[in-house]
Amino acid sequence: MAGERVLVVDDSLVYRDLLVNHVLTPNGYEPLTANDGESGLRIALREGPDLIIMDMQMPGMTGLQVLEALHQAGSEIPVIMMTLHGSEDLAVRAFRLGVKDYVIKPFDIEEMLIAMDRALTEVRLRRERDALTRTLEAERRQLEAVLTNTKEGILLVDDSDEDRIILANHAVCEAFNLESDGANRPLMEVVQDEVLIDVFQQAKAKAEIAHAELPLPDDRTFNANITPIQGVGRVAVMQDITYLKELDRMKSEFVSTVSHDLRSPLTSVKGFADLLPQVGQLNEQQAYFLEKIRSGVDTVTEMISDLLDLGRIEAEVRMDLEECDLGVIIEKVIAGQRNHAELKKQYLRMQIGPDLPSVLGNPVRLGQALSNLVSNAIKYTAEKGRISVIASREDGQAVIKIEDNGMGIPQQDLPHIFDKFYRVDRPETEGIIGSGLGLSIVKTIIEKHRGRIWVDSKMGVGTAFTIVLPSALEPPGTTGSKRSG
């Protein structure tokens, strides 16, 4: 390796010359020289060269004395010594003082280069190892600083049965009031949050990413994403979404207020529009315009009542819950929607399993949710299509499927259809009236009932919404109401 610094200590100018000009410089080493033991020692201690090549027989301080002094100073610089023939006993003593190699004068250049290479190999390996250790240590420190200082909570557990904690950063300790980082202890022992434990298990069971919203003891809300990492375990990254939740609440409140205030002027527009024909005979064009006004007002009124409804449902912390017979609710919904289906010559049927469990809920709200889904199925299915509502018991829970063989929902729209005001924008949906609030009302209602809803759909084949509701007999807390995804 070029550039290594080699100190030559020899009183003989001939040998200093030979080493510097024929061994070191041509082979890329950087030479340092000393012409006696004292200065050799001084330079060695001051400059810390990579290797010392030293004559043992020098006037003044001998090579052996220099070695002893270096040894005492704790030096680890490898030394090659040069001796005259017949001083083998000296060599033995020198080796005890840590000399790496010796060459007998006169030596040839090749022989010296080989000895140097041997002595330096160890140094090189040690250097590489030290450099690697330093890099790893620096990277580890960087990573640690990032993990510790980031605002996001990071919680890593291993793959053992007890979910032992590998790392819990500062944000996690603070959020869950942990006294220590809980390293190497089972998650369940350290963190009391049921939803968090539950979602960690969910990610493990399904070996896929799981999400949850975690309400914290200090009234903040975290959004947690738990990702399985092969060969390591699972990591939860948690963001504080308190601010977003608050914004959402303010937005809903604003929408409710505005909708409410819009209602009365609309009622009078509608009232006066209804009165108009009574004042005098309208000609054909006037009647046509009036019809436009009425249908416009109807659409806006419906939208406002949806908005107000959504606001109300979202704000209902505790709904009035009673034991509900889903079969009865579904029958009513079907009866209410039958007309609409008949207008489109659609076949609307229901199938209610005999052992369908009753659920704890608000029958009006549940009916509203199912009506929205059935009315969507009718709306987004062509004439003579088939729509079915099938309710059954699975794993002790109530499962309701609303299926149609309609236009279907494009893959890229599926993640958004439960968002407020989201509507699929395609040639097929053109002319179908709606505000995009129906499904967000449905989802809010189902989640208020500790249930889950999801959709499967294929373009041109049909759509199926599935709702799972816990049975009224199930003890509360065994189904995560905060879960989604």
Residues of this chain that interact with ligand ATP (CB under 6 A) are 306, 372, 376-377, 380, 404, 406-409, 417, 422-424, 429, 434-439, 463
**What's the min distance (Å) between Cβ of 369 and ligand ATP?**
11
**What's the min distance (Å) between Cβ of 441 and Mg ion?**
9
Structure tokens at 180: 């220590």
Distance between alpha carbon 382 and the CA centroid of its chain, in Å? Answer: 41
- 187 vs 446, beta carbon nearer ligand ATP: 446
**What's the min distance (Å) between Cβ of 372 and Mg ion?**
6
- 160 vs 339, beta carbon nearer ligand ATP: 339
Using CB under 5 A as the binding rule, whether residue 406 contacts Mg ion is answered as: no
415 within 8 A of 472, measured Cβ to Cβ: no
Using CB under 5 A as the binding rule, whether residue 405 contacts Mg ion is answered as: no
Residue 83's binding partner among Mg ion, ligand ATP, none (Cβ under 5 to 8 angstroms by kind) is none
CB-based contacts of 408, cutoff 8 Å, min separation 6? 457, 458, 459, 460, 461, 462, 463
**What's the min distance (Å) between Cβ of 425 and ligand ATP?**
8
- 319 vs 455, beta carbon nearer ligand ATP: 455
**What's the min distance (Å) between Cβ of 462 and Mg ion?**
16
Say how many Å lie between the first and final Cα of the chain, rounded.
Answer: 58
Distance between alpha carbon 335 and the CA centroid of its chain, in Å? Answer: 46
**What's the min distance (Å) between Cβ of 373 and ligand ATP?**
7
- 169 vs 368, beta carbon nearer Mg ion: 368
- Render 199-224 in DSSP notation, one character per residue: HHHHHHHHTS-EEEEEE-TTS-EEEE
CB-based contacts of 294, cutoff 8 Å, min separation 6? 270, 273, 274
- 336 vs 436, beta carbon nearer ligand ATP: 436
Residue 444's binding partner among Mg ion, ligand ATP, none (Cβ under 5 to 8 angstroms by kind) is none
Residue 437's binding partner among ligand ATP, Mg ion, none (Cβ under 5 to 8 angstroms by kind) is ligand ATP
| Cis peptide leading into residue 49 (ω within 30°) | no
Residue 451's binding partner among Mg ion, ligand ATP, none (Cβ under 5 to 8 angstroms by kind) is none
- Residue 419 CA to residue 440 CA, distance in Å, equals 6
CA dihedral of residues 303, 309, 311, 313 (deg, nearest 10): -150
- Residue 387 CA to residue 348 CA, distance in Å, equals 5
**What's the min distance (Å) between Cβ of 370 and ligand ATP?**
13
Judged by CB under 5 A, the chain residues 372 through 391 that form the site for Mg ion are 376
Which residues make up the interface to Mg ion (CB under 5 A)? 376, 438
